[in-house]
Amino acid sequence: MLTIYGATIVTLMMLFYAFESRSHWFTLAFAVACLGSAAYGFLAGTWPFGVVESVWSLVALRKWQVVRLR
């Protein structure tokens, strides 16, 4: 089940990232998917992956804020 979750969340990340230019909501969805990917990393026991994805989520949230306010 963990592998299916990981594959699904990474696929969603890729799709949301690809559609970021269409709407700022895809940027927010990407940030949430990054958090899901971080959870996967921690659950899988690969904490460095979890930490990097957590930081990436913060970067995406900041980008969403900037884009949304424009």
Helices (H), 19-46: 24-43
In this prediction, residue 16 carries a pLDDT of 97
- Residues of the chain predicted below pLDDT 50: none
In this prediction, residue 40 carries a pLDDT of 97
In this prediction, residue 69 carries a pLDDT of 87
In this prediction, residue 70 carries a pLDDT of 82
Residue with tokens 């998917």: 33
In this prediction, residue 30 carries a pLDDT of 97
For the entire predicted model, the pTM comes to 0.92
CA distance 9 to 69: 27
